[in-house]
Chains A and B, each alone.
Chain A
Amino acid sequence: MTPTLQIFLIVSAALFSIGLLAALSRRHAIFILIGIELMLAAANLNFIAFWRFAPQPHQPTGVMFAIFSIAISAAEAAVGLAMVIAVYRHYHTTNVDQLNQLKG
C-alpha cells in the first residue's frame, strides 16, 4: 500500500497543530517563533504534496511556491529574532507575559 494524499495532509495537519500548540501555549518569545516556523513548514509540505499528487505534475508550480515560501520564512525568522534581541535589550526579559507596557 502506497501512501495517499490524505495521509500526507493528515501528517501536515498534525505538524501545523503542533506549531499552533507551541505558538499559543509557551511564554517565551523564541518558542513562539519556533511554533510559527513549524506552521510554515507544514504549509510547505502541503504545497509539495498537492504538486506531487496533481493530475499533471509536469509544471513545477508547487515546487516554486515552496521555494519562495522558504525564502520568505527565512526573512521572517531573521526579523523576528532581531526583534527578540531588541526587546531583550530594552526590558531584560523575553517572556511575552511581562511585555505589557501597552496594556490599557
Chain B
Amino acid sequence: MSSAAFVIIAIFTLAAALAAATLRKLMHAALSFAAALVGLAAFFFLLGAEFVGLALVFIYIGAVAVLIVFTILLTRRDVGEDRGFNWAGVIIALAVFCGLTWSILATQSISIVAPHIRALTVKRIGEALMTGYVWPLQCVGVLLTAALIGALILVMEEKR
C-alpha cells in the first residue's frame, strides 16, 4: 500500500465529491459524482477488496449514475440549475468534519498499519455468501425486488 497512490486517489476523490456538492449545473454535478465513485473504487482496490471495487463500478457508475442522469433529463423542463444555497449547511458540515477528525485523532489505538493478508479471492467471497450469509443474501433479493416494483408503481401513469 503505497502512500503516493493514496495521496493521489484521496485528492481526486475529495475534489470530485466537492465538485458534485457545489457545482451549479445538475449534469456537471452528476458526472462529478461518477468521478468521485471511480476514486472510491480505486480506494477499495488499494485496500485489497477488488470484488467490492468492481461491484461499486458496476452498480454505482453503471446503474445509479445513469439513473440520476435519466432523472435530470426527465425533470429539467423548468430547472437546469440550482439557484438557492443554504450557508447554514456549510457550517453544520464543517462542524461535523471537525468533530469527527478530532475524535479520530484523539484515539491512539487506531494509528496502526495494515497487516499482511492472503488475497481475498472471489471464490472465498462466493463461498461465504452461499454458506454463512445465505439468509442476508435472500433478504437483499426480496428487498431489491420490492424496491424495484415500488419504484415502477411510483412512476406509473395514473388512470383517471
A contact residues vs B (CB 8 Å cutoff): 1-11, 13-28, 30-31, 33-35, 37-38, 41, 44-45, 48-49, 51-53, 55, 57-58, 60, 62-64, 66-68, 70-79, 81-86, 88, 92-95, 97
Contacts and interface: CB of A to CB of B under 8 A. Distances in A.
A70 B117 CA distance: 24
Interface residues of B, number: 86
Contacts, number: 249
Most chain-A Cβ atoms within 10 A of its Cβ — which of B3, B63, B82, B136? B82
Q: Main secondary structure on chain B at its contact with chain A?
A: helix
A20 B96 contact: yes
B136 to A, nearest CB: 6
A75 to B, nearest CB: 4
Q: Main secondary structure on chain A at its contact with chain B?
A: helix
Contacts of B94: 17
A59 B42 CA distance: 22
Interface in B88-111: 88-90, 92-94, 96-97, 100-101, 104-105, 107, 110-111
A79 B133 CA distance: 25
Contacts of B13: 11, 15
Contact of A34 (B33, B83, B101, B115): B33
Contacts of A31: 21, 26, 29, 82
